Amino acid sequence: MELRVLRYFLTVVREENITRAAQVLHITQPALSRQLTALEEELGCQLLVRGKRKVSLTEAGLLLRRRAEELVELADRTEREFAAGGQDLAGEIVIGSAESSAAQLLPRLIEPFLREHPLVRFDLISGNADQVKDQLDQGLLDIGLLLEPVEVEKYEFLRLQQTERWGVLLRADDPLAAKEAVTARDISPLPLLLSRRALVQKELASWFGEDLEQLHILSTYNLIGNAVHFVERGLGCAVTIEGAVSAFDPNRVCFRPFTPALTVRSVLVWKKYQTFSPLLAHFLNHIKVTLRHDKL
């Protein structure tokens, strides 16, 4: 499977038409069709459904699109890193961040680095912790900002000073909103929305002091932004960290921490045993020095 052919395939997917894709690629339509047919033969499956006016993807085609996007992005980043090798520090650093108040630390780390190296560009990716870890493992991210617990055997990491409080997101007019903090007894009978992460659910089960199967779990979620709509409708309350909900309208929803308190720390992580580009090595050293001296 050649990278060039994967680029052809992605262009066809984007244009939804082989003729238009051929024009974009500056090759003939028959030549592009032969490349696509050869790709299907190489993989042993049909990738495209060829209609009169447009093409669509089969299930196998959807899978290849995801993998091709990852491979092409990784190849492009590698080319940019080598192209910048003989110049002043330049290129791109990709950082993935889960929802937390620790994300506010990123501008404080990046700003002085950019003053010294203005040719550097950052790409900030948001997602839940599992998505960030998956992209780290695939080499699509350089650094991840995660909440503990983290499987540290796979990553180098720096533990940050900030702590996050676990609690519950409620409608602003919920009777529990009158309390400064909520107990397991307060919320155990209520319909709950929980993070779908297995490690988080294990931590929460320990705090509740019972098996999660005994609770009334309305839904799981990957990002709290999806769950807040359920809370606003009064369908349930969402178990979350405080830093993930700071942007929500306090006239509609409110956060109340757990008592006894359940807190977690944030960590910056990157893959173990990888060879760093000069740019990434320099930025990681900048992070370590900054965290050591400024106690961020």
The tens digit of pLDDT for each residue in 171-212 reads: 999 999 999 999 999 999 999 999 988 888 888 999 998 778
pLDDT range class, residue 78, cuts 50, 70, 90: confident
Q: Which of 169, 168, 173, 197 is nearest to 258 (CA)?
A: 168
What is the distance, to the nearest Å, from the Cα of residue 202 to the centroid of all Cα atoms in its chain?
A: 21
pLDDT range class, residue 296, cuts 50, 70, 90: low
pLDDT range class, residue 230, cuts 50, 70, 90: very high
The answer to whether the Cα torsion of 53, 54, 58, 61 is positive or negative is: positive
Residue 34 vs residues 29, 31, 57, 94, 117: alpha-carbon distances, Å: 9, 5, 17, 36, 46
Q: Is residue 82 pLDDT above 80, yes or no? A: no
pLDDT higher at 53 or 192: 192
Q: Is residue 265 pLDDT above 60, yes or no? A: yes
Determine the pLDDT at residue 256: 97
Q: What is the mean pLDDT of the chain?
A: 88
pLDDT-above-90 percentage for the chain? 48
pLDDT-above-70 percentage for the chain? 95
Q: Of all helices (H) and strands (E), which one includes residue 18?
A: helix 18-25
pLDDT-wise least confident of 2-6, 10-14, 151-155, 237-241: 151-155
Encode pLDDT of 234-249 as tens digits. Answer: 999 999 999 989 889 9
Q: What is the average per-residue pLDDT within 81-94? A: 70
pLDDT range class, residue 66, cuts 50, 70, 90: confident
Rounded Cα gap, residues 184 and 179, in angstroms:
13
Determine the pLDDT at residue 277: 82
What is the distance, to the nearest Å, from the Cα of residue 196 to the centroid of all Cα atoms in its chain?
A: 14
Residue 99 vs residues 166, 234, 243, 296: alpha-carbon distances, Å: 13, 23, 7, 18
What pTM does this model have?
A: 0.67
pLDDT higher at 148 or 109: 109
Domains detected in the chain: 3-72 (1.10.10.10), 82-161+265-294 (3.40.190.10), 164-263 (3.40.190.10)
Encode pLDDT of 138-150 as tens digits. Answer: 888 999 998 877 7
Residue 44, φ and ψ in degrees, nearest 5: 75, 30
Determine the pLDDT at residue 218: 94
Q: What is the average per-residue pLDDT within 261-280? A: 87
